[in-house]
Structure 1
Amino acid sequence: MKKYIILIIAFLFSALCLNVFGQTKQFPFEVLKKGSGDQSIIFIPGFASSGDVWNETRATFENEFTCYTLTMAGFAGRKPQPNASFENWKTGIANYIKDNQIEKPILIGHSMGGALALALAADYPDLISKIVVVDAVPCLAAINDPAFKSKINNDCSTSVNQMTGMTNDQFYDMQKKTMPSLLADTTKLDMVVDWSVKSDRTTFGQMYCDFFNIDLRERIAQIKCPALILLESYFINLKPAIEGQYRSLKTANFQYATTGLHFIMYDDTAWYLGQLSTFLKQ
């Protein structure tokens, strides 16, 4: 009898472990879920940004849509995870959509998040209903070098060592000097700098290097869904180069902001929300 009791306890313990681990499956991001609409939106922030970058956007649409707002592991104070890479993060988002049975979500991504939206729509064309790319291009490195070719097994150790080798003051100063070239709204500068400063330096260095090695120019030919491409005002001066990168994306709708810099959601808010509203309701 004692033998059977031990076996039953072992079985129940195993079942409990399976249930717990099944419920706590790790994805390379944290998720904030709000709203209860039939159509879902997944918001993907940019490099070293918090999901809070979408607060105003989400508040505008959460009464009509179910909104999933991501913050990537290692960014903006979130706990880092090993093996951070653009492709692993893309796969993680796809798995989250499948595991949670999110039916044909709309993806809205800013900067690197926009590139992740492109990669997801290209590699999982039947999983996504629409994408919005907020100030991103298929190949960032090709802006300066149109002949750029991605490196296989790209070594990011130099970038990681550079970031982890900085003192806190040096890293803060670097971010403080960089952000005014990306964000015109001075009321948001300290917040955005703080997201970077709170990011894990290894993840920061690894993803900075890895993202610069990404080239989606040919892959985006596989995208089937409608794609709204919102670009900062300066990019109108680079229109042939920008739209040349997107030449394989047949569903692209290009719109250029009227003012401001890279953080379009802050710098040209009314125009940005108007573009989103029109596209989401089509």
Structure 2
Amino acid sequence: MKNIILFLAVFFSLTLQAQTENQPIHVTVSGKGKPVLLIPGFTVPGESWDDVVKQLENKCECHIVTLAGFGGEEPIAFPWLPKVNEALENYIIKNDLKDLTIIGHSLGGTIATWLASRENNSIKQIILVDALPAAGALMMPNFNPDDLVYDNPYSNQQLAMSEADFDQMATSMSQGMSLNKEAQRKIKDWIIMSDRKTYVYGYTDYLKLDVRENLKNISVPVTIIAADKPLGKEMITQTYKNQYANLEKYDLRIADNSAHFVMFDQPAWFMVQIQQILAL
């Protein structure tokens, strides 16, 4: 009898563990007030929003997201991004987040546009931080999402990359994403911490995602907070005009002397914009 009880205890423990692991998203909640969903960029955990949350949580209920495979969270089966998108949509519905504001950085902003384009959503407005609806189209001539597959020479090379080479690549990438030395260190650490397959195949998912047609279905206010580096204001403005051509109206705000992580490079200016948009 003791053996049966022990077996059942272990069985139910493992079953519970299986049910709680390998989720597409992981969300923590802080504060009370207006609901705000904060979605980070690729490889970046929810803690990237810590300083923003500290200044919002006295008036906002902040739902801070970390995506599977990043920030130490367990990876999930591929395709990765469609599962993430669906999980976020279900989270909003399940938690009855009415009049919701979504703040999304980079990939998080792309996801925010997808969510805002869905029928019968409860989103009040979206704030996109250096985010494009089709990053792949900007990076590749003759862009066709169907041409992007997991099994390709570049992805295979990254999967086989040594820890030292991956570390060097992460260092180089982080230096282009922020002008802030401390932020560069954090960004590098987040890249290295990411699950390697999620990093490689998840990025393929990211490049495949093209929500430019979906923009026609967005009726809520959209604010885009962009960085002026490295292209300069004129080219940045034209890039966003091209990518968001199907969006009827948006408010573009460009941060001076900032790279991709605007919240790290211009934190005071960034918070002024957020507080104005949220009318806090």
Alpha-carbon contact 1:76-1:197 (below 8 Å) kept? no
What corresponds to 1:128 in structure 2? 123
Alpha-carbon contact 2:24-2:68 (below 8 Å) kept? yes
SS of equivalent residue, structure 1 residue 71: strand
SS of equivalent residue, structure 2 residue 50: helix
Q: Which residue of 80, 83, 86 maps to 1:88?
A: 83
TM-score (norm 2): 0.87
Deviation string, structure 1 residues 100-121 (Cα, Å, up to 9, x no partner)? 2222321111011110001111
What corresponds to 2:261 in structure 1? 263
Q: Which residue of 233, 237, 256 maps to 1:236?
A: 233
Q: Which residue of 183, 190, 196 maps to 2:191?
A: 196
Question: What code does the residue aligned with 1:225 have?
Answer: V
Shift of 1:247: 1.5
Q: Which residue of 151, 161, 172 maps to 1:157?
A: 151
What corresponds to 2:32 in structure 1? 36
Alpha-carbon contact 1:31-1:68 (below 8 Å) kept? yes
**Residues 204/138 of structure 1: CA separation in 2 closer, same or farther (3 Å cut):** same
Question: What code does the residue aligned with 1:256 have?
Answer: I
Deviation string, structure 1 residues 178-236 (Cα, Å, up to 9, x no partner)? 11111100012211111110100011101111111221111111011111101001352
Deviation string, structure 1 residues 50-107 (Cα, Å, up to 9, x no partner)? 1111001111101101001011010122111112432221111000111122223211
User: Are 2:202 and 1:207 equivalent residues in the alignment?
Assistant: yes
Alpha-carbon contact 1:76-1:194 (below 8 Å) kept? no
Q: Which residue of 225, 247, 251 maps to 2:245?
A: 247
**Residues 124/176 of structure 1: CA separation in 2 closer, same or farther (3 Å cut):** farther
Q: Distance in 1 between matches of 2:74 and 2:118?
A: 27
User: Are 2:174 and 1:179 equivalent residues in the alignment?
Assistant: yes
Deviation string, structure 1 residues 147-186 (Cα, Å, up to 9, x no partner)? 523217x421235433321111111110001111111000
Question: What code does the residue aligned with 2:103 have?
Answer: I
Q: Distance in 2 between matches of 1:193 and 1:144?
A: 22
Alpha-carbon contact 1:125-1:224 (below 8 Å) kept? no
Q: Distance in 2 between matches of 1:25 and 1:178?
A: 30
Q: Which residue of 55, 64, 89 maps to 1:69?
A: 64
Deviates more, 1:179-188 or 1:155-164: 155-164
User: Are 2:76 and 1:78 equivalent residues in the alignment?
Assistant: no
Name structure 1 gaps, 5 residues minimum: 1-15
Match runs of 1:111-150 below 5 Å? 111-124=106-119, 126-145=121-140, 147-150=142-145
Deviates more, 1:113-122 or 1:226-235: 226-235
**Residues 156/51 of structure 1: CA separation in 2 closer, same or farther (3 Å cut):** same
Shift of 1:142: 2.3
**Residues 145/203 of structure 1: CA separation in 2 closer, same or farther (3 Å cut):** closer
Q: Distance in 1 between matches of 2:200 and 2:224?
A: 27
Question: What code does the residue aligned with 1:252 have?
Answer: Y
Question: What code does the residue aligned with 2:149 have?
Answer: D
**Residues 208/25 of structure 1: CA separation in 2 closer, same or farther (3 Å cut):** closer
**Residues 188/241 of structure 1: CA separation in 2 closer, same or farther (3 Å cut):** closer
Q: Distance in 1 between matches of 2:192 and 2:240?
A: 30
SS of equivalent residue, structure 1 residue 129: strand
TM-score (norm 1): 0.86
Shift of 1:273: 0.9
Q: Distance in 1 between matches of 2:54 and 2:79?
A: 30
Q: Distance in 2 between matches of 1:66 and 1:109?
A: 16
Alpha-carbon contact 2:22-2:75 (below 8 Å) kept? no
Alpha-carbon contact 1:41-1:66 (below 8 Å) kept? yes
**Residues 162/123 of structure 1: CA separation in 2 closer, same or farther (3 Å cut):** farther
Alpha-carbon contact 1:163-1:204 (below 8 Å) kept? no
